[in-house]
Amino acid sequence: MRRVALSVLTVTVLAAATCWVTPAGAGVRPAGCAATASPRGTAAAIVDIARSTRRELGLSAALVRVTVGGREVVTAAVGESMAGVPATTDMRFRIGAVAIAYLNVVLLQLVDEGTVTLDDPIARWLPSLPHADKVTLRMLGSSTSGYPDYESYPPFVARLYADPFRHWSERELIDLALARPAWYTPGTNWSYSHANFVILGQVLERVTGTDVGRLLRQRVLNPLGLRSTVGADTAYIPGPVLHGYTIERGRFEDSTYWNPSWTTAAGAVLTSDICDLGASARAVGTGRLISARALRTQLDPGTVGLGERTGTCPATICVHQSQDRHFGLGVVVENGWIQQTPSFAGYSAVQTYLPGRDIAIAVATTRGRTTTEVNSAETVADRIATLLTRGRAEGGSPGRTGR
């Protein structure tokens, strides 16, 4: 995949680059996630990137939010939610894997509090699961447990596309994942598996005695003031809604209300707006809700160097984790940026943060009839990042994570 290089080692260099000046009129997050009025300079250039990339990729809509030093650079929406209905910055959309970062924040809070350790085996709470005495909380959060991913399991895919509106229970999802042997011995390799995070949600509930939805509200969403980020046990999205579209079943169709219950732990299926996503990028990237030690662990839990093809795990699944690009505890660290890149049924998004420069970028896109990219929001975010870091030390884009 295409990358624009930004060395992980540039963070300390970038920290010295303090010459950024935000555009006139920039300020804190506007109430109701309002679009920037009359963007100029850098703000106008970012809007131009959103517009040109939308045309190039044939997107239905693109929403962007950029802050530097916590101050707004621009908030904008281009394109349409539906035919004849313009996309607006206050529209809500699905944020999928961003909730995986939040689940790991809660896990690290419990570590900070001394309630658990990352190396506790999950047998303490879920003794009946295979390899429960060897799989640890760290392995769930960093996706190194070896549990297969049900998303790639043909029986699951067939049932999903036969009825994309059906609700999936956690028991069904875990059973599907465990219908196949483990990819590898726990902790010895790396592979992305949704099952890890479904199981992690169950463990968090047993540790705290509180359901995941309430945990996220109490420990993440409310403390961060993410008022537009809400969970639902159904496919419901609060209005105003940014509609999504997909061709996954061989035809172009509205997928806004396809049921996302299979995507992560029950209670962690979230929708948001672009302003909350931007605030989330900065909060997760700075470790606002966890200790400095916990943040270091979140960014490097021991995954670097893992990931290799074996006789039981192909290279497309057991992907190498390098210093420049690796999965942490619920986040991807790529070329110095800390991010998540959710995609679901034609929706795609990015929240990404560059330490030292205090740049937060949030993008949400919806595909059009001719769009071919799985996560087109990454393309928009890459181009914005290149604009903001070009000519400043060794700046560049976060690159493409492929997840």
pLDDT tens for the chain, residues 1 to 403: 333 333 333 333 233 333 333 333 333 444 589 999 999 999 999 999 999 999 999 999 999 999 999 999 999 999 999 999 999 999 999 999 999 999 999 999 999 999 999 999 999 999 999 999 999 999 999 999 999 999 999 999 999 999 999 999 999 999 999 999 999 999 999 999 999 999 999 999 999 999 999 999 999 999 999 999 999 989 999 999 999 999 999 999 999 999 999 999 999 999 999 999 999 999 999 999 999 999 999 999 999 999 999 999 999 999 999 999 999 999 999 999 999 999 999 999 999 999 999 999 999 999 999 999 889 999 999 999 999 998 554 445 676 544 4
Domain presence at residue 308: yes
Domain presence at residue 17: no
Q: What CATH number has the domain bearing residue 104?
A: 3.40.710.10
Domain presence at residue 116: yes
Query: What pLDDT was estimated at residue 36?
Result: 97
Domain presence at residue 207: yes
Dihedral of CA 368/371/377/380: which sign? negative
What's the total number of domains in the chain?
1
Query: What pLDDT was estimated at residue 391?
Result: 56
Domain presence at residue 360: no
Domain presence at residue 280: no
Residue ranges making up the domain that contains 234: 86-269+292-346+379-403
Domain presence at residue 306: yes
Query: What pLDDT was estimated at residue 397?
Result: 62
Query: What pLDDT was estimated at residue 400?
Result: 53
Query: What pLDDT was estimated at residue 399?
Result: 63
In this prediction the pTM is 0.90
Domain presence at residue 368: no
Query: What pLDDT was estimated at residue 58?
Result: 97
Query: What pLDDT was estimated at residue 68?
Result: 98
